[in-house]
Homo-oligomer: A and B are copies of this chain.
């Protein structure tokens, strides 16, 4: 059989490839890279490397502590990972304030299809025991985290669909009885917040409150989490809860204009 003529393939952009070679070389030197070292590692002429570093510095992809100091990876790189979106930008000041007020971890999450998605997270940079960054992470299991309980509570169709399946146990605290959970979710609707205490993972506790759009639909959840030994126990959590409920209410109010 005669071979079929093939549509060509695209060339790549050499200077962008070189930029990343240089970034990779810079990353080898935690204390700061010298131009000469970078040129040696990349086998590029010094003048080329110098001009590229100037460009990368203007963009924020590399930085220097002072003029003459070594080159380090800059803030523009980590900024690419935080993945801002319009809702994330809008809610950020409230998340930061919650972190300032409590020293704990504040998150923003939405439903993506039938899965919970964390789209932003802030924590106290001075705290050595922190929570993993869930930003970009999907959770299909909705009965064991506080934001997902909110979505279950306020969306009867989702709740009915979800509770028709057996509830998986994660810890000794996990609620696996659907009718008991349904009763709890009724209270979530009345109270306007949801708690989780070591139902998903031992040592993890937190509270979430809903952000509503103009149609009274829950579009996102603000949450405040910490290691359980730092979070107020049940019965003493009114103040901690109120901070989150207030933040979410303010955001809702803001969205309504």
Contact = CB atoms under 8 A, between A and B. Distances in A.
A204 interface: yes
B76 A20 contact: yes
Interface of A: 10-13, 15-17, 19-20, 23-24, 26-31, 50-52, 54-56, 58-59, 61, 73, 76-85, 112, 117, 119, 125, 127-132, 134, 136, 200-201, 203-204, 227, 229-230
A125 to B, nearest CB: 7
Contacts of A227: 129, 203, 227
Number of copies of this kind of chain in the complex: 2
A73 B83 contact: yes
B129 A23 contact: no
Nearest to A31: B112
Contacts of A129: 129, 131-132, 201, 203-204, 227
A204 B128 contact: yes
A129 B203 CA distance: 7
B130 A16 contact: no
